[in-house]
Structure 1
Amino acid sequence: MTTLDLEGLLDILRRSAGDSEALTGADVLDVPFEELGYDSLALLETAGAIERDLGISLADDEVADAATPRLFLELVERSS
């Protein structure tokens, strides 16, 4: 089982979709990705990077439903 923590997810988001100023200095677990400056395309790119880096397959519709970092991490945990 592969584990992805918040810092790992934020690192992958930054590498895949660019840095967001909203990610610095705040607890972002329950902040919607949209408010953090990431759209659905950014999340799909992040999901692709997770598949390549960690070998975890994530369904596009489930990625779209994971609206916050917490929900995204829960999806990765269920899928690993």
Structure 2
Amino acid sequence: VPAALVAGHGPFTWGAGARKSLEHAIICEAVADIALHTLSLNPTTPPPPHLLQRHYTRKHGPNAYYGNPDKAPTSS
């Protein structure tokens, strides 16, 4: 979603026109709402180790594919 979050400011969104920019703003707000609710459940819980490993490996592992769509796996 074409958007940028700036500390102490509302989100900046853009699109082909005003309607598309508004759509992106609504998506940005929905994601922020999900994040807020997730943190409110338990703000000190770290991500599960398997998730950290997965994201590290996709960029730095022997079969790294981050940034290279030709090597991206077809299923997760």
Higher strand fraction (1 or 2): 2
Higher helix fraction (1 or 2): 1
TM-score by length of 1: 0.26
Greater C-alpha Rg:
2
Higher relative contact order (Cα pairs below 8 Å, separated by 6+ residues): 1
